[in-house]
Amino acid sequence: MTDALSASGLCKRYRSTWALRECDLALPAGRVIALVGPNGAGKTTLLRLTVGLLSPTSGSIEVFGSSPTTNTPQALARIGFLAQEHPLYRSFTVADLLHFGASLNIRFDRPLAEKRLASLDIPLNRKAGALSGGQQSQVALALALAKRPDLLVLDEPLSSLDPVARREFLQTLMGAVAQDGITVLFSSHVVHELERVCDYLVVLNNGRIAIDDDIETLLERHKILTGPRSDVHDPMLGTVIEATHSDRHTSLLVRDGAAIEGWQEQPAGLEDVVLAYLRGGVAMDRTKVAAE
């Protein structure tokens, strides 16, 4: 099966600053993929490269086997994009926006969008600028979904929403995923809200890929080990990602390790793992060790 997104040696530079360096990625299709990283890590750049709004400085990127920079109607039809702050034409009514979507797309499903908006009680004759932030994000999502994309890309879709709107937004999104089986790639800088909805994780730090893995595998491979304080590392414990020491104890977040005598083992939370990699500035070893 072709990957939904694959990149090799992907670099993007803005004048003298590098936004992305040497990124290699292979994201499987049919998954809900979270792209996580601190502000300025290059998330927006990676997403814009994915949808063809930017072209790479060097390296290549492919969406379902074809380059998004070709900018052909066929390539454009396969992706749906929801930019940060879900921009809409504010003077357009919701109906105008649907007309816009229908006239600029090949396989735009207008009845589907209308049904979605009706179920959310969003009036079609209201101007987009007069809608609440949550409603605007729903309209933008409905537009992107009505394109019937194979890959839906969302840039920080939750950041400008209040908790209620967040839940509603995720509900709509997950409903669509369950129905159409599309691949979703979305960015966020908060980890804890992703665990419920995502099954694949990409962590970007400083323009480089730190983690690119299935969440389940990721959690299986990482553990928190607690034992007597020691500054010498026993290789039996695994690869240490992060170590914290108190007076008597040492707590390690390790990969592919196990507790030895005198140590206790605990599962690591997703947030613990992500933060450990980000703080340590390290990248995950991509050669996956078969779990014994």
Partner 1 sequence: MIWMTWRQHRAEMLVLTGIVAVAGLILLMQGLSIRGLFPDGAAACANSDVTNGDSCAQALSKLSDGYGHPEPISFLATLMPFVIGAFLGAPLLGREFEAGTWQLAWTQAVPRLRWLAVKVTVLAGLTVLLTLAFSAMVTWYRAPVDTFDGRLGQVGYEVEGVAPVAYALFAFAVATVAGVLLRRSLAGLALAAAAFVMARIAVASLARPKFASAMTVLQTVQDKGPGDTRGTGNAGDWVLGTTFIDSSGHKLSTATLEKLSGDAANAGVSIPAYFQQHGIHRAVNYQPGDRFWHFQWIESGLYVGAALLLVALVAWRVRRRSL
The footprint of partner 1 (CB under 8 A) covers 14, 48, 51-55, 71-73, 76-77, 79-81, 83-85, 87-92, 96, 99-101, 103-106, 140, 143, 147
Which residue lies nearer to partner 1 by CB, 80 or 207? 80
Beta bridge partners of 242: 253
Which residue lies nearer to partner 1 by CB, 88 or 202? 88
What one-character DSSP code corresponds to residue 157?
T
Which residue lies nearer to partner 1 by CB, 98 or 274? 98
Structure tokens of 292? 């014994």
Give least dist CB 87 to partner 1, A.
4
Neighbouring residues of 237: CB distance < 8 A, sequence distance ≥ 6: 225, 252, 254, 257, 258, 259, 260, 263
Give least dist CB 34 to partner 1, A.
20
Give least dist CB 222 to partner 1, A.
35
Which residue lies nearer to partner 1 by CB, 148 or 208? 148
Give least dist CB 106 to partner 1, A.
5
CA 120 from centre of chain: 25
**Residue among 177, 185, 182, 176 at smallest CA distance from 155:** 185
Terminal C-alpha separation, the chain: 27
Apex CA 82: angle with CA 79 and CA 85, to 5°? 165
Q: Residue 150 belongs to what H/E stretch?
A: none
Which residue lies nearer to partner 1 by CB, 76 or 215? 76
CA 261 to CA 113: how far, in whole Å? 59
Give least dist CB 245 to partner 1, A.
43
> Are the beta carbons of 262 and 227 closer than 8 angstroms?
yes
DSSP calls for 234-245: PGGG-EEEEEEE
Give least dist CB 84 to partner 1, A.
7
Which residue lies nearer to partner 1 by CB, 62 or 242? 62
CA 16 from centre of chain: 26
Give least dist CB 35 to partner 1, A.
16
Which residue lies nearer to partner 1 by CB, 14 or 249? 14
